[in-house]
Amino acid sequence: MSTMEIPYKTYLGEDELPTHFYNVRADMQTDHAPILHPGTLQPVTVADLEPVFCTELVKQELNTTDRLIPIPEPVRDFYRMYRPSPLIRAYYLERALDTPARIYYKYEGGNTSGSHKLNSAIAQAHYAKEQGLTCLTTETGAGQWGTAMSMACVYFDLDLKVYMVKVSYEQKPYRKTVMQTYGAQVIASPSETTQIGRKMLAEHINPNGSLGTAISEAVEVAVGTEGCRYVLGSVLNQVLIHQSVIGLEAAAAMEKLGEYPDVVIGCAGGGSNLGGLMAPFMADRLAGRRAPRFIAVEPASCPSMTRGRFAYDFCDTGQVTPLAKMYTLGNGFIPSANHAGGLRYHGMSPILSQLYHDGHIDEARAVEQSSVFAAAEQFCRAEGTLPAPESSHAIRAAIDEALAAKESGEEKVILFGLTGNGYYDLLAYQQYNEGTMTDYIPTDEDLERGFATIPSLPGIQ
């Protein structure tokens, strides 16, 4: 261990921060199917989306031609606070596994929001500020995205209203506290501040709230308020564009070390983390320069890629958003109470869905919760850092790949994304320690009930 030929942590200099985001759509032979307006079933336009999202972000959402999009200087200034994030050679985990594989991970949990979400939050806040907006709205479940947006908005002096699912608001008061400390207004949803909220409260519909309702309230306020727009932290193409900063840094750091990944592994919920991490490596693969393998890891309890259908579906359970063609379990699929809240989404980023459909993402792998926490425990005892449950899905697959390399004697280079820390996920660790953690795999009947909510669109494939 004392003879590490390369450092444990590789930090790029701040002068090596990427200057441009990468937009993989410009390199895809087959673009994802167009997003459809839910009323007209026609491809959405800038004009359709502008009332909801800020204009530059709408343009990025629909941008199929620009490979590189400049990172604005104020965003790079903010990035200097916590980026470039470290690329870590997992020497201590390698030793624990006794594997010939060389394992690297890109750690995004070193900022106060606790995950990679901040990378897109600050970009979205910047474009809003530049447009002259004064206010943003969003929703949050467990609170990581809301925290990231709070940090971003206080930096640009923007008002932020966060609609927080009421059950989380009450059960996780400290997440609310962090957002408030960064100046955000946090509102338990459903609330009296919107028409939809008042209706749900009056009619006693889902009084504990849901992400779907919180989104509806946040959008209603954004659309109805002068100088205000709505922001979202995953699934969207614009988010994958911003998150490419993860992969661009990882590729630059690996190049410095004379390394290149044989396999790139990311957990996949909405797709923002995997899409970001793999960006430059996918560019290499699409151009035929290199041939890294890509593995998307999802919870067995919410297996959109491994057991879902590739079909047009609503992005929300309320069936009010546009329709996207993606791997989906059906917008009405109800995932079990898995501890990796960030991976509990019925669909998958349209970009990642298309890449998987076309075979550019080699493998989707579903893993069970208890095996994920076994990997998390092994990881933290070896490498120090307590990982988020979401990230631990990628750890599980990385360990399995490293053990397979041990079996075969291969000196494989493995890169995975450690998207966040687990400091706010200790209830899950407690259940794991106490042996009360349960696994849940949906039955075929469960899946059929979800698939039944995928809309039937005659003439559209």
Residues binding its own copies (CB under 8 A): 1-2, 4, 7-9, 11, 13-15, 73, 76-77, 80-82, 92, 110-112, 151, 154-155, 173-174, 177-178, 180-183, 377, 380-381, 383-386, 421, 423-424, 426-427, 429-430, 432-433
CA distance 157 to 155: 6
Interstrand relation of 68-70 and 20-22 (parallel, antiparallel or unpaired): antiparallel
Minimum CB–partner distance for residue 461 and its own copies (Å): 46
Phi, psi at 367, each rounded to 5°? -125, 150
Identify any residues that bridge with 162 across adjacent strands, giving them in sequence order.
138, 186
Residue with smaller CB distance to its own copies, 111 or 317 = 111
Identify any residues that bridge with 366 across adjacent strands, giving them in sequence order.
298
CB 346 within 8 A of CB 268: no
Minimum CB–partner distance for residue 36 and its own copies (Å): 39
Phi, psi at 424, each rounded to 5°? -105, 15
Residue with smaller CB distance to its own copies, 4 or 287 = 4
CA distance 139 to 131: 21
CA distance 94 to 373: 18
Residue with smaller CB distance to its own copies, 333 or 373 = 373
Q: Is 154 exposed, middle or buried (0-12, 13-18, 19+ CB in 10 A)?
A: middle
Minimum CB–partner distance for residue 181 and its own copies (Å): 5
Minimum CB–partner distance for residue 407 and its own copies (Å): 26
Which amino acid, one-letter code, is at 342? G
State the virtual CA torsion across 162, 168, 173, 178 in degrees, nearest 10: -40
Pair of tokens at residue 342: 């960030």
Q: Is 279 exposed, middle or buried (0-12, 13-18, 19+ CB in 10 A)?
A: buried
Minimum CB–partner distance for residue 74 and its own copies (Å): 8
Minimum CB–partner distance for residue 223 and its own copies (Å): 28
Minimum CB–partner distance for residue 382 and its own copies (Å): 8
Minimum CB–partner distance for residue 29 and its own copies (Å): 38
3-class secondary structure, 67: coil
- C-alpha separations of 332 from 38, 347, 455 in Å: 16, 11, 10
Residue with smaller CB distance to its own copies, 22 or 379 = 379
Query: For residue 273, which of 89, 416, 152 has the smallest C-alpha distance?
Result: 416
How many degrees, rounded to 5, is the angle at CA 328 between CA 326 and CA 331?
Answer: 115
Residue with smaller CB distance to its own copies, 94 or 383 = 383
Interstrand relation of 20-22 and 363-367 (parallel, antiparallel or unpaired): unpaired
Q: If you ran DSSP here, which 8-state letter would residue 138 be given? A: E
CB 180 within 8 A of CB 151: no
Residue with smaller CB distance to its own copies, 313 or 425 = 425
CB 247 within 8 A of CB 284: no
Residue with smaller CB distance to its own copies, 142 or 236 = 142
Residue with smaller CB distance to its own copies, 86 or 190 = 86
Residue with smaller CB distance to its own copies, 140 or 421 = 421
Minimum CB–partner distance for residue 252 and its own copies (Å): 16
Residue with smaller CB distance to its own copies, 76 or 393 = 76
Which amino acid, one-letter code, is at 33? A
Minimum CB–partner distance for residue 87 and its own copies (Å): 13
Count the neighbouring beta carbons within 10 Å of the beta carbon of residue 396.
26
How many degrees, rounded to 5, is the angle at CA 200 between CA 198 and CA 204?
Answer: 120
Minimum CB–partner distance for residue 154 and its own copies (Å): 5
CA distance 71 to 21: 6
Residue with smaller CB distance to its own copies, 111 or 216 = 111
Minimum CB–partner distance for residue 118 and its own copies (Å): 9
Residue with smaller CB distance to its own copies, 86 or 141 = 86
